[in-house]
Structure 1
Amino acid sequence: MSHFKRAGNVDSLAGFRTPKPEAAVPYGLLKAARKSGLLNLSGRGLTEVPQNVYRLNIDDPAEAQENVSFRGSDRWWEQTDLTKLLLSSNQLTQLSEDIKLLPALTILDDLSNNLLKHLPSSVGRLSALQKISLCHNKLSSLPDGLGQLANVKLLDCSHNQLTDVPVSLAGMLALQQLYLQHNKLRRLPQLPAPALREVFAGNNQVELLEAEQLSCLSAVTLLELRDNKIRNLPEELALLLTLTRLDLSNNDISTLPASLSLLPNLKVLLLEGNPLRGIRRELLAKGTGDLLKYLRGRIKEEAEGAAGPTAMTLPSEGLVNTHNIKTLKMLEYIDKQAASVPDEVFDAAAHQAITSVNFSRNQLTAFPPRLLELHSSLSDINLGFNRLSCCSADICSLQQLTHIDLRNNQLTDLPSEMKNLSKLRCIVLNHNRFSSFPEALYQIVTLETVMLGNNQVGGVDPSRLMQLLSLSTLDLSNNDLLNVPPELGLCTSLRCLSLEGNPFRTPRAAIVAKGTNAVLEYLRSRIPT
């Protein structure tokens, strides 16, 4: 009897029925997303986002009607809100206004590498968002509603067709990184965002830098304007006192204002590909330090010319630029090939709140001990191009440090005490003798930029790098990396990862050449599941 009962349940027409189409988003994936808060729909060929994705946290799941179970894995009523939605590398042409039904989203990454032409205004309702990536789409404008997203720290709109950026984006009060490369912008956006630190606006059609736009960049440390059509640099650039890197490569600039040399924190000035007049090519080849020194010399010549033949040079001014000390709070003793810094240099800075010190291009073999006299104010120190074989633990007494430049020395390690530099954001260690990633750096959670190119580093620990939540730039080029751990792809805060010039075989050079996003995506795809 039981045999015939089983036979009676067989569908004899099964072979003739049209199979039901497979759901665009498997139900198991949605079920897992209710538990984890993460839904990854990248690379699924989607032309639209299924409605059940938008309603994921509104509609009861199917198991609510099917059964009631108290097993831990089936407690559908204990679902968590969706916080991360990944939609990149699909064929989306639009996003529904129903995106507002996912108000707990913190990351919408996502949307890159699609065919979007516009965004719904309801995106502005996603008040918890901290990161939005819209790169590689066909956007010609951005909705004003984006300005309501006061918690967004990173906005990537690169590789689109934007001709302007709405002023309403000034409401993004937490915005730190703005990516606008490869669009059709004719002017910089006027965004008085108080936290904005990095602006990437290369490969656009910007012709003129205006004072109104520059005045909004008072806290910017990195400004990238390469491959535009800029002809002149206004004097207002000298007001960007926090600027450390300025990329003006491949523009139409013919002259440089001497006031550029007054930027107290400028470390990198890139000018290749401009028709500059009056500046020798070999001077440009020497690097930023020499170029700024030349521009400062022009200011000094102009000042001496204005003072007339009766001007006098005090003995102390033979060693130190007292104008820089008093006005810019900058102490310099550079390119002297000296084995030590004379006491007269420090004496000239007595009772001054010095914020920046540059003792580069000398023959220093030890940390100048009198630097400790500046511990209450010193935030930026440059000891590059010296002969330091070790970094003294005394540097850790300079608790206000935000930038350290130790490039082109003979360092093999850093003191463990450096982990106590609680304000350090940038450290430059290129062209030294490190064989491993310095242990102390893993513990400085404020780090945003680590430059370790041209050393002998053999490996990094991605699990510890992931704890550096602010790290956006990591230069490991020209080292001894035999392999790149796939878990490095989980360091999602990275916006610039340099790996070229290492002996690893994967990722291939073609992938590395595509840039940071492609490398990170490749590495994530190699993580064992």
Structure 2
Amino acid sequence: MDRLLKAARTSGSLNLSNRSLRDVPNEVYQSLDAVGKDENWWEAVELQKLILAHNNIESLKEDLRNLPQLTVLNVSHNKLSDLPAAIGELPMLKSLDVSFNSILKIPEEIGSATSLVKFDCSCNRLKELPSSIGRCVELSDLKASKNVIVGLPEDLVNCSKLTKLDVEGNKLTMLSENLIASWTMLTEFNASKNLLSSIPENIGNLSHLIRFDLHQNKISSIPPSIMGCSSLVEFYMGNNSLSSLPTEIGVLSRLGNLDLHSNQLKEYPVEACKLHLSVLDLSNNSLTGLPPEMGNMTTLRKLLLTGNPLRTLRSSLVSGPTPALLKYLRSRLSEGEDSEITTPTKEDVITRAARLSIASKELSLEGLSLSAVPSEVWESGEVIKVDLSRNAIQELPVELSSCISLQILILSRNKIKDWPGAILKSLPNLLCLKLDNNPLRQIPSDGFQAVSRVQVLDLSGTASSLPEHPAFSSMSHLQELYLRRMQLHEVPSDIFNLQQLRILDLSQNSLQSVSVEFQRLTSLSELGLSDNNISVLPPELGLLEPSLQALRLDGNPMRSIRRTILDRGTKAVLNYLKDKIPQ
């Protein structure tokens, strides 16, 4: 403990999670009072971040006031039944997590923690939130799910900066129109699993709302004002008492996921067929038919209809693939209407891809013949996958630099000539990079340092890209490397330093020999050597037999191994080679 406290006095951060603590050590409350003789007291800093999660702590002392510089306090997953009034004497507190405890009441003093931005009190035994929380005007993220809260305090109208609100699994019977009027910045609102009977008439005020979850309530109608929620991407209304949908829902052009399962819908309005949905769940309703216009919803990937008394559709269509059902519905349109069906324009596809990326965290603009990426597609800075393959892009968009969560970047088959080192360096979480089939010029000698954490790299078909001595070893995490059609005459020696490499594809090159150094790649499970000029394999390659599952040799003038052995597959070849190793 002394060592941790000493480190905390230097860093300002103390993590005591998962230590089976029943109490918070007194030293934590007086961290600066315990400066040791071997420490410079003038260099000590006050505690700013305190993590006490996943312990058995039953109470926090009022001595908490001794930590006035605290900005983060996490006491989730403990056994707290209350919070000290001193919580209000932490003027710098920005993040407070008391979730997964047994707290019965939040003290009114919390209203004095006016710097609070994020508050999580979910999974407790709260019957109400204190009205004083309305004084926390900086609050943007409030989680109070899975309690027994019966109503939200009207003072929350002052929290106009709220962007995320989660009150799932409580006993709310209504949402105040006054609150809705003030929460115009909300982007995510989850009030599912409550006792709500209606949606406020002014719900359209939430024009920034992206995700709206009201499933498992007692709501009987959706107000026409829903059309004002113009940013809505996901709308969950399953397990309610809806008997109809407002025609105005059809104007929600960004909506991609609409869940209406387990309601009492008797029809799906024609106007709602204008939506560009990806997923539509209408299962377990009272639908007897579907409008033929639904066939025009060509963006639908999944349409769920089971549990409806559909009389005009064969059961095989209802339970079959969505495209087949949509095709059938289109065939039911009159000839005049059918002629109006058009293939989505490139602009429509781009807009839809941008909209879907908000929820899916994936942006796909594959095969659109783009020479540049429109700036408006970067609606989500949290995308984890971007696919720009099969276009005519020459330079990467600068907006990519802001996608710090990006893990997969696919740039195959474009017209990229220069190694995009600056942008790649700004993507700290990038794990997969595919630059194959681009007219890539030589990569700088230190170019691979920009992608040092990448696990999958494909440079196939970029014959001029590799420097004379490519520094593959700077990518120590590399697990898959694809170098097909690179006009290689020998394997770059640095590859043999990649101890985590599992897949190496060197097919369609001009290799004439296989180095004994391959035996160093002890994690290799696939090795592609097809379509080269290899006639002899070194016996040492057989040492990879425990891990190597696929050795592809077809298309080589192999002379050292009989065809009968080659035809028996990888294991036979490796065992044959291993037997040739001199004893």
Out of 111, 124, 139, the residue aligned to residue 149 of structure 2 is 139
For 2:30 and 2:390, the matched residues in 1 are separated by 47
Q: Is the 8 A contact 1:260 1:292 kept in 2?
A: no
What aligned pairs does 1:326-405 form with structure 2 within 5 A after superposition?
A: 331-332=342-343, 355-357=347-349, 378-380=350-352, 391=367, 394=370, 396-401=372-377
Indicate the structure whose relative CO is greater, using CA pairs within 8 Å and at least 6 residues apart.
Answer: 1
SS of 2:111's partner is helix
Q: Please list the CA deviations of residues 243-281 of structure 1 after superposition, one character each: whole Å capped at 9, or x if unmatched.
A: 111011122223222222112x32211122223212534
Separation (CA, whole Å) in 1 of partners of 2:219 and 2:169: 15
Give the Cα separation in 1 of the matches to 2:270 and 2:402.
28
Alignment of 1:96-111 (within 5 A): 96-109=107-120, 111=121
Q: Which residue in the other structure is 1:269 paired with? A: 280
Residue 311 (structure 1) aligns with: none
Question: Which of 250, 256, 260 is matched with 1:248 structurally?
Answer: 260
SS of the residue 1:98 aligns to: helix
Equivalent position to 1:258, from 270, 286, 296: 270
Cα distance, 1:218 vs. partner? Answer: 2.9
1:226 matched to which residue of 2? 238
Give the Cα separation in 2 of the matches to 1:424 and 1:262. 35
Distance, in Å, in 2 between the alignment partners of 1:424 and 1:204 is 42
Q: 1:403 to 1:95 in 2, by over 3 A?
A: closer
**Contact 2:87/2:113 (8 A) holds in 1:** no
CA change 1:230–1:422 in 2 (3 A) is farther
Percent identical pairs in the alignment equals 24
Structure 1 302/236 Cα, relative in aligned 2: closer, same or farther at 3 Å?
farther
RMSD (Å), alpha carbons: 4.3
Kindly indicate whether the alpha-carbon contact (under 8 Å) linking 1:155 and 1:177 is maintained by their aligned counterparts in 2: yes
Partner of 1:43: 77
Q: State the distance in 1 between where 2:287 and 2:218 align.
A: 19
Q: Secondary structure at the match of 1:379?
A: helix
Which of 161, 174, 178 aligns to 2:189? It is: 178
CA contact (8 A) 2:169 2:194 kept: yes
SS at match of 2:119: strand
Q: Which runs of 5+ in 1 are unaligned?
A: 1-21, 58-80, 305-316, 322-330, 334-348, 358-377, 405-410, 427-435, 446-460, 465-529
The alpha carbon displacement at 1:420 in A equals: 2.6
Partner residue in 2 for 1:468:
none
Task: Tell me the secondary structure at the aligned position of residue 142 of structure 2.
Answer: strand
CA deviation after TM superposition for structure 1 residue 422, in Å = 4.6
Query: Which entry has the higher C-alpha Rg, 1 or 2?
Result: 2
The question of whether the paired residues in 2 share the 8 Å contact of 1:137 and 1:159 is answered with yes
Equivalent residues in 2 for 1:4-19, closer than 5 Å: none
In structure 2, relative to structure 1, the CA distance for the partners of 1:288 and 1:437 (3 Å cut) is farther
Q: Is 1:208 aligned to residue 178 of structure 2?
A: no
Could you say what secondary structure the match of 1:181 adopts?
A: coil
Q: Note if contact 2:258-2:281 (Cα within 8 Å) is conserved in structure 1.
A: yes
Corresponding residue for residue 52 of structure 1:
86
State the distance in 2 between where 1:142 and 1:252 align: 29
TM superposition shift of 1:285 = 3.8
Which residue number in structure 2 is paired with residue 420 of structure 1? 397
Q: Which residue of 1 aligns with 2:103?
A: 92
Deviation digits for residues 355-400 of structure 1 (CA, Å, limit 9, x no counterpart): 414xxxxxxxxxxxxxxxxxxxx52359x9xxx9975773743444
Counterpart of 1:132 in 2: which secondary structure? strand
Among candidates 389, 403, 408, match of residue 438 of structure 1: 408
For the residue of structure 2 that corresponds to 1:49, the secondary structure is: coil
Q: Secondary structure at the match of 2:370?
A: helix
Deviation at 1:178, TM superposition (A): 0.1
- For 1:103 and 1:51, locate their aligned partners in 2 and report how far apart those are by CA, in whole Å: 14
Change (3 A) 1:289 1:417: farther
Q: Is the contact between residue 249 and residue 274 of structure 1 (CA under 8 Å) also seen in structure 2? A: yes
Task: Determine helix, strand or coil for the equivalent of 2:86.
Answer: helix
Residue matched to 1:112 = 122
Q: Is the 8 A contact 2:103 2:125 kept in 1?
A: yes
- Matched AA of 2:134: G
> Once the 2 structures are TM-superposed, how far is the Cα of residue 99 of structure 1 from its aligned partner?
0.8
Between the two proteins, the alignment pairs up a number of residues equal to 321
Relative distance call for 1:210 and 1:152 in structure 2 (3 A) is closer
Report the TM-score when normalising by structure 1: 0.52
Structure 2 portions without partners, runs of 5+:
1-21, 32-46, 49-66, 291-312, 357-363, 381-386, 412-422, 427-450, 455-583
* 1:157 to 1:381, Cα distance in 2 relative to 1, 3 A: closer
Aligned 8 A contact 2:95 2:116 in 1: yes
Cα 1:116–1:418 change in 2 (3 A) is farther
What is the alpha-carbon distance in structure 2 between the residues aligned to residue 440 and residue 301 of structure 1? 42
What is the rounded CA distance, in whole Å, between the counterparts of 1:102 and 1:401 in structure 2? Answer: 38
Q: CA deviation at 1:414?
A: 8.4
